[in-house]
Amino acid sequence: MKIFIRLLIILVFVACEKKQAPKVVVVPKPIITKEGRIIPIDSSKIASFKDSSMIAFYQAIKNKTFWLANTDRKKLISLLKNADDEGLFLKDFDIKHIQSSEENIQQLADSLLINYDILLTENLNRYIKRASKGYLNPDSLYTNWDLNPNNINFKKLLLNFQKKDSFNYAVKAVLPNHIVYKKLKEALQIINKLPKYDLNKIEIEQKLVLNDTNEVLIDIKKHLIFWKDLHSLDTITPIYNEETELAVKKFQMRHGLATDGVIGIGTVQALNFTKEERKKEIIINMERWRWFPRNFEAEYLIINIPDYTLHVVKNADTIKTNKVITGKAARKTPVLSSKLSYLVFNPTWTIPPTILKNDVIPAARRDISYFKNKNITVYNASNQIVNANNWSAEKAKSYRYVQSPGKSNALGLVKFMFPNRFSVYLHDTNSRGYFDKDIRALSSGCIRVQYPFELAEYLLDDAEKWNLDAINKVVDNYKTVNVSFKKDIYIHVLYWTAWSENGVLQFRDDLYNYDLELYKNLY
């Protein structure tokens, strides 16, 4: 009986149990975000663009939005937000408007999405123009300037961004690619990492040397510590000790000054530049490098006027570095690019009008034997020699003055010729002691080079015919010999006053106030 009752209870329990409903898997509908869409743009809107690059950009994609469905949009926004890394001004870009549109992209109506896409392209187009060609036209600033404007295809640079997986390449194509520009960018990064500048201006009444005691040394040490030339924590001792002297020498070397450890006017002037002033100097030089040639040749000479140096570059490697003497502020060495055509051993020198007016004629008026002493022959308009006794100061400008070859010749024993409208050239000198000076803005515009025979041997590239022994034999004859170059060698005479070298900031004096002129027009 008990067994029966138990079975009955089990049957009732089973019968009363509800059947469980089968599980239903709900598949969410795909959400198509607004930013992932491609929206047609009215062709009349595109035709209304004033910039042909903008028109070409949208016509190339059949009048549709580009950035909304492009994963590079975030990269573009980042590029614009960090445009100051390239020395550009953030105020030139609609950063706030772009950020606001990006944050609210899901709520924007189609018409606003179209406007946002166009806004991004407009800002990119602006970035391309500023980063590739710069803000200003050098021809309107400088007279001693002979560089052909870079032929930059803005339309092509903009269209590069439409190529698949090419964003980084497209950005790279916009920027100057020379190593000096990259070093300037590095310099900007270095100076941006420096702490807030809060230093007193330094004033001295007399030069300071090792073991001097002077209260101004406290401020000098603070400046040296700020610029990372001095690694001491001592900013209360007014004594010029050896540690501080080493820091001063390092600072002087970074600024192209005499590294003698003597704190004089030049060193103090350099110390008194503020962080913001140096930052602007770097940015000014980045602007100038956008005007310099975009593509340098496989082999070339490059001269930095304020640094008084010539570098021989081959396949992007510096092969040789020579000291040079450049033009004084009153007789500036021009900025130019050209191609070496030939060199002259034992050159004659036809004296140019400026030197004739300012130097030769006044000297001859004081002492007519000047011509004989300087080995100068005077010719009249008929190419006849004018005897010194018959030389007339009133007719002086109508004569032609030629200095004969030799060690007394102002051009030295070799000159390197290249076409330019300023009639300047690269040459030897009869005053080689000037290369021992740190400040070498001493010429009348031409460029004097140290070790010219070694340079000639390298450029002629003929070990059998034009080695140093052969060159010396030709020079010793004092006969003028012209030699053409077998290979194409270009020369770039440029001007930059800031850069980074092995992670260390370098600055040079603005000899010709080119930075100052640029500063006035850029800021």
CB-CB contact of 485 with 515 (8 Å) = no
What would the pLDDT profile of 238-294 be if each residue is shown by its tens digit? Answer: 999 999 999 999 999 999 999 999 999 999 999 999 999 999 999 999 999 999 999
As a whole number of angstroms, the distance between CA 41 and CA 140 comes to: 40
Of 175, 196, 224, which residue sits at a domain end?
Answer: 175
Of the listed 223, 255, 427, 492, which one is catalytic?
Answer: 427
Which of 118, 148, 175 lies at the terminal end of a domain, its last residue?
Answer: 175
Catalytic residue among 178, 255, 446, 492: 446
pLDDT, tens digit (0-9, with 9 covering 90-100), for 194-235: 999 999 999 999 999 999 999 999 999 999 999 999 999 888
| Burial class of 166 by CB neighbour count within 10 A (0 to 12, 13 to 18, 19+) | middle
Model pTM score: 0.90
Domain that residue 92 falls in: 34-175
Instruction: Please tell me which residue, 231 or 393, carries the higher pLDDT value.
Output: 231
Rounded to an integer, what distance in angstroms lies between the CA atom of residue 23 and that of residue 329? Answer: 90
Whole-number average pLDDT of the chain: 93
Within-domain flag for 500: no
Average pLDDT rounded to a whole number, residues 377-382: 94
Cross-strand partners of 417: 342
Amino acid 459 reads L
pLDDT of residue 8 exceeding 80: no
DSSP string covering 454-481, please?
HHHHHHHT-TTTSSHHHHHHHHHTT--E
Cα angle at 492 between 255 and 86, to 5 degrees?
60
Residue 26 has pLDDT above 50, yes or no: no
- SS3 of 20-61: the string is CCCCCCCCCCCCCCHHHCCCECCHHHHHCCCCHHHHHHHHCC
Structural domain contains residue 427: no
User: Please, which residues bridge with residue 477 across strands?
Assistant: none
- CA dist 323 and 440 (Å) reads 9
Question: Is the pLDDT assigned to residue 352 strictly greater than 60?
Answer: yes
* pLDDT at residue 7 tops 60: no
Active-site residue, 178 included: no
Q: Would you call 446 a catalytic residue per the annotation?
A: yes
pLDDT tens digit sequence for 411-453: 999 999 999 999 999 999 999 999 999 999 999 999 999 999 9
On whether residue 86 sits in a domain, the answer given is yes
Q: What pLDDT is stored for residue 37 in this prediction?
A: 85
In a domain, 148, yes or no: yes
pLDDT of residue 35: 63
Asked if the structure places residue 393 within a domain, the reply is: yes
Q: Which one of 404, 430, 446 terminates a domain?
A: 404
For the ranges 17-21, 81-85, 312-316, which has the lowest average pLDDT? 17-21
Note the pLDDT of residue 177.
Answer: 95
In this prediction, residue 34 carries a pLDDT of: 62
Rounded to 10 deg, the angle between the 514-522 and 275-289 helix axes is 90
The answer to whether residue 437 sits within a structural domain is no
Residue-level pLDDT at 1: 45
Residue 287 lies in a domain: no
**pLDDT of 128-157, one tens digit each?**
999 999 999 999 999 999 999 999 999 999
Residue 160, token pair as written in the block: 């590069």
Classify residue 358: in a domain, yes or no. yes
The total number of structural domains in the chain stands at 2
